[in-house]
Amino acid sequence: MADTLQAQAPSAGRRREPRKPMSPREKQNMRRGLLFLTPWAIGFLVFIAYPLVYSIIISFTSYTGMNHAKFIGWDNYKSLFTDPLVGQSIGNTLFYAVLAVPIGLVVSVLLALAMNRNVKEVAWYRTALYVPSLVPVFAMSFIFVVLVNPQYGIVNKVIEAFGGGNVNYLAEPTSAKVVIVVMAQLGAGNAALIFLAGLNNIPQTLYEAARIDGANPWQSFTKITLPLLTPAILFNLITGISGGLQVFTQAYIMTGGGPDNGTLFYMYYLYKNAFSYAQLGFASAMAVALFLFGMLLALLVFWVTRRFVNYDASAA
Residues 253-272 that bind another protein (CB under 8 A): 254, 256-261, 267, 270-271
# residues contacting another protein (CB under 8 A): 148
Q: Is 220 exposed, middle or buried (0-12, 13-18, 19+ CB in 10 A)?
A: middle
Q: What are phi and psi of 24, to 5 degrees?
A: -55, -35
Select from 9, 80, 114, 178 the one that contacts another protein (CB under 8 A).
Answer: 114
CB closer to another protein, 69 vs 99: 69
Nearer to another protein, 99 or 242 (CB): 242
Whole-number Å distance between alpha carbons of 202 and 205:
9
Strands (E), the chain: 61-62, 70-71
Amino acid at 315: A
Site for another protein in 137-196 (CB under 8 A): 137-152, 154, 166-168, 170-173, 186, 189-190, 193-194, 196
Asked if 106 is part of the footprint of another protein (rule: CB under 8 A), the reply reads no
| Interface of this chain with another protein, residues 271 to 300, rule: CB under 8 A | 271, 274-280, 283-284, 286-287, 290-291, 293-295, 298-299
| Residue 91 is a binding residue for another protein (CB under 8 A) | no
Which residues neighbour 70 within 8 Å (Cβ) at sequence distance 6 or greater? 61, 62, 63
Please enumerate in sequence order all residues whose Cβ is within 8 A of that of 181, keeping only pairs 6 or more positions apart, or say none: 96, 99, 100, 103
Asked if 76 contacts 282 with a C-beta cutoff of 8 angstroms, the reply is: yes
Out of 78, 134, 157, 164, the only residue in the binding site for another protein (CB under 8 A) is 134
Nearest approach, Cβ of 99 to another protein (angstroms)? 20
Q: How far is the CB of 102 from another protein (least distance, A)?
A: 18
